[in-house]
Structure 1
Amino acid sequence: MTRLALITGGTRGIGAAIARRLQQDGCRAAVIYRGNEVAAKAFRDATAIAADPWDASDFDACFNMMAAVDPKVLEGVVAQIPVGRLAQPAEIAHAVAFLIDEQSGFITGSTLSINGGQYLI
């Protein structure tokens, strides 16, 4: 199975280090960045890792990207999710609301995997 990682903010600093390490470990890595084309070009030239501009706060762009995924690819992804479907936006929002709630103040340094059981960490 091919391991693929998408690293946000990956053309400099910690993100770049993570991308390089994952590539070194045999993972297919790609990075997205916001705004610094000079740093992105230098990163691409030095590593041959794909680096593309992306603004995750642009809802329409994110929606259109997901809508453009080949249905057969999407079927393959969903087939690997034990609950048998993609998450609903409200399910993700619920988890975020839980984490930022004042009653969750003792939860620090944790990873909450919202993935329908697709993988466990």
Structure 2
Amino acid sequence: MTRVALVSGGTRGIGAAISEALKAAGYSVAANYAGNDERALAFKEETGIPVFKWDVSSYDACVAGIAKVEAELGPIDVLVNNAGITRDSMFHKMSPGQWNEVINTNLTGLFNMTHPVWSGMRDRSFGRIINISSINGQKGQMGQANYSAAKAGDIGFTKALAQEGAAKNITVNAICPGYIGTEMVLAVPEKVLNERILPLIPVGRLGQPEEIARCVVFLASDDAGFITGSTLSANGGQYFA
């Protein structure tokens, strides 16, 4: 029986690579997105992966969206919590709005997406939850107090929930990417990239979205059934945790 995978933020960047890799591995994939209709529809056309629009910061929207996915594809076996935003600012200039937007999407979004699928996974005695955190949730980053706090919270959420899911054959793991060659990173001025970012990465290059996707495919597989509560760092040696 084909397993169903849902990827939040699954139509762009790392999320798109994850969606495509899971489809190639034989999963029936649904890709969630929040706002870019043009990109989402193009992704659907290119890949044949169905797309579903809702905001992960809203619990009610997640409940309704997940119900729609399950009505069309079946119960969700694999959930990849990838959706995330940045609202970078030095802390003395950071507004409550910038703080709350990032926390609500990047941390509370994990609760909002995972809670509606958790009971079903328990009932079926199988599940894979994979949370995309960040190197900056491990080491912190100047100008990202909101983002770093949320991504560190993702790791704590992973460790706690893994203990609850273990007896029901539900694994919960986190992946912490470093600098990955997405549109956002590649938009950084070349001088800044070459002089301030790449020298910090021992392997001497940016990661590729497909490299994170391969980590997800492994953690989603039966072969990874003994791995839970773990944090997989994929950062080219930039930070060891």
Partner in structure 1 of residue 125 of structure 2: 81
Shift of 1:25: 1.0
Shift of 1:4: 1.5
State the structure with bigger RCO (CA 8 A, min sep 6), 1 or 2. Answer: 2
Partner in structure 1 of residue 25 of structure 2: 25
1:5 alignment partner, SS class:
strand
Q: Going by fraction, where is helix more abundant, 1 or 2? A: 2
Within 5 Å, give how 1:50-61 maps onto structure 2: 50-61=50-61
- Gaps of at least 5 residues in structure 2 are 76-116, 127-151, 172-226, 228-241
User: In the alignment, is the contact (CA less than 8 A) between 1:81 and 1:115 conserved in 2?
Assistant: no
Task: Give the letter for the 2:53 counterpart.
Answer: P
Structure 1 residues 111 and 47: alpha-carbon distance in aligned structure 2, compared to 1, 3 A threshold? same
Structure 1 residues 60 and 110: alpha-carbon distance in aligned structure 2, compared to 1, 3 A threshold? closer
Check if 1:39 corresponds to 2:29.
no
Task: Give the letter for the 2:124 counterpart.
Answer: Q
Partner in structure 2 of residue 119 of structure 1: 170
Structure 1 CA distance for aligned equivalents of residues 67 and 19 of structure 2: 27
How large is the RMSD of aligned CA atoms in angstroms?
3.5
TM-score by length of 1: 0.60
TM-score by length of 2: 0.33
Structure 2 CA distance for aligned equivalents of residues 9 and 41 of structure 1: 13
Partner in structure 2 of residue 96 of structure 1: none
Task: Give the letter for the 1:119 counterpart.
Answer: I
- Gaps of at least 5 residues in structure 1 are 83-98, 101-107
Q: Any runs of at least 4 consecutive aligned residues in structure 1 with deviations exceeding 6 A, and if so which? A: 66-70, 73-76
Structure 1 residues 80 and 55: alpha-carbon distance in aligned structure 2, compared to 1, 3 A threshold? same
